[in-house]
Amino acid sequence: MRAVGVNEHGGPEALEVVELPDPEAGPGQILVRVHAATVNPTDTYGRNGARAEHQKKDPPPYVSGMDVAGVVEAIGPDVDTELSVGDHVMAIVLPDGSHGGYSEKLALPAGSVVAVPEGTTDVEASTLPMNGLTARLALDLLGLEPGETVAVTGAAGAFGGYAVQLAKADGLRVIADASEDDESLVGDLGADVVVRRGDDVAHRIAEHAPDGVDAIIDGSVQNDALFAAVKDGGGFATVRGFRGEAPRDIEVHQVWVHTYLEEREKLDTLRRQVEEGAITLRVADTFAPEDAAESHRRLEAGGVRGRLVIEF
């Protein structure tokens, strides 16, 4: 099968189409013929060597990609599922060596695979699993009650956008940041208040929550620069890890989506929320595997709204 990976770490040009053995569905696994693999910021770390220490136990090529959509090709033994061969599905993927989303075929744990939302294409559905589950995990860790206020930074991005929409679905009041160009987008996602993004965003958030917000979901990775907007004893969810001391008994939650790798019911709930209109799927552009390098260049240049997708 074809996959997109790197034999040597480097810039986007390091990505190449490689040939790998076809996987088979083992016990508890579903074999997916991948039609679409989403390109996420985390994928660049597997390409550029930032995670080389974790990869060195495996020989190259190293294949990135954390969410896919396609068709069930086979179901292994000992799988409890309502899915059938030929069903269109989406899945979250944990890259490991040459096992990653940028592949024509993947054998995945059955708990990582659910049907695509009705009325969506595989390209659209592929943008949901990783970012959607990350946003769901952040909110679950914060444990907010309906009517409480959460601030979301990086709200125009894929993760931030899902965090806004899921927070609204949970009955929360949402303050979100945006550039001038993205204000209408973030407002359309459902934010109750949209403030201008930037270095002083904590002050602008606090203007709409004088006693501090109950929690912040930090999609823009500003970390301690945002604590001033959080109430004493409030919550703070970070997606890139935080080291240090939080002031005023603020509780920092490290959001690592791999802990939701086989949370099938949560992923299936996201599917239903798309069908109900609570979640919006946004695709920015698609690329052939041979053009994967350009997808990484576009991503790293910034300003992409929606997700870039590799089509197999």
Read off the DSSP letter of residue 11.
Answer: S
- Does residue 265 belong to any structural domain of this protein? no
What mean pLDDT is predicted for residues 99-124?
98
Read off the pLDDT of each residue in 172-200 and give the average, rounded to a whole number. Answer: 97
Give me the pLDDT at residue 127, please: 98
Confidence (pLDDT) at 56: 80
Domain with 123 in it: what CATH number? 3.90.180.10
- Do 195 and 241 fall within a single domain? yes
Query: Residue 191: its pLDDT value, please?
Result: 98
244, pLDDT greater than 90: no
Mark whether 25 and 76 lie in a shared domain: yes
CB 107 within 8 A of CB 22: no
Question: What percentage of the chain has pLDDT greater than the value 70?
Answer: 100
Q: Same domain, yes or no, for 229 and 300?
A: no
**pLDDT at site 243:** 85
Give the model's confidence band at 278: pLDDT under 50 very low, under 70 low, under 90 confident, else very high. Answer: very high
Residues 62 and 20 in one domain: yes
Q: Is residue 270 part of a domain?
A: no
pLDDT at residue 234, rounded to an integer: 98
* pLDDT at residue 52, rounded to an integer: 86
Residues 203-231: what's their mean pLDDT?
97
pLDDT band, very low/low/confident/very high, at 158 (cuts 50, 70, 90): very high
**Whole-angstrom distance, CA of residue 6 vs CA of residue 8:** 5
149 and 232 in a single domain? The answer is yes
d(CA 83, CA 96): 25
- Sign of the alpha-carbon torsion through 143, 147, 148, 154: positive
Average pLDDT over residues 17-38: 98
Confidence of residue 53 (pLDDT cuts 50, 70, 90): confident
Q: Is residue 109 part of a domain?
A: yes
Asked whether residue 154 falls in the same domain as residue 253, the answer is yes
Q: What is the mean pLDDT of residues 136-147?
A: 98
Please check whether residue 67 lies inside any domain of the structure: yes
Q: Is the dihedral of CA 128, 130, 131, 135 positive or negative?
A: positive
Q: Which pLDDT score, from 0 to 100, does residue 55 have?
A: 87
Q: In terms of DSSP bridges, do strands 88-92 and 113-115 run parallel, antiparallel, or are they unpaired? A: antiparallel
pLDDT at 6 over 90: yes
- My answer on whether 46 and 94 are in the same domain is yes
The parent domain of residue 207 ranges over 131-258
Same domain, 17 and 95: yes
Assigned token pair, 129: 């699993």
Q: What CATH number is given to the structural domain containing 248?
A: 3.40.50.720
From 12-16, 50-54, 83-87, 252-256, the region with the lowest mean pLDDT: 50-54
The answer as to whether 169 is a domain residue is: yes
In a domain, 269, yes or no: no
Q: For residue 84, is it within any domain?
A: yes
Total number of domains in the chain: 2
Taking the CA atoms of the chain, what radius of gyration do you get in angstroms? 19
pLDDT bracket for residue 179 (50, 70, 90): very high
Residue 94 and residue 64 share a domain = yes
Do 76 and 145 lie in one domain? The reply is no
For residue 28, what are its two tokens?
A: 């508890």
Contact 112, 29 (CB under 8 A): no
Average pLDDT of the residues of the chain: 97
Across residues 136-153, what is the average pLDDT? Answer: 98
Q: What is the mean pLDDT of residues 268-285?
A: 98
Q: Examine the domain organization and report whether 164 and 223 are in the same domain.
A: yes
Name the one residue in this structure whose structure tokens are 């949970």. Answer: 170
> What one-letter code names the amino acid at 194?
V
Do 190 and 108 sit in the same domain of this protein? no
pLDDT over threshold 90, residue 128: yes
Q: Are strands 29-39 and 2-6 parallel, antiparallel or unpaired?
A: unpaired
pLDDT at 41 over 90: yes
Is 271 part of any domain?
A: no
3-state secondary structure 92-115: ECCCECCECCCECEEEEEHHHEEE
| Per-residue pLDDT tens over the stretch 54-85 | 888 899 999 999 999 999 999 999 999 999 99
Question: Residue 149 above 90 pLDDT?
Answer: yes
Buried b (16+ CB within 10 A) or exposed e, 6-20: beebeebebbbebeb
H helices within the chain, ranges in order?
41-48, 52-55, 122-125, 129-142, 158-169, 183-188, 201-206, 264-276, 292-301
Position 240 scores a pLDDT of: 86
Please tell me the predicted confidence (pLDDT) of residue 262.
98
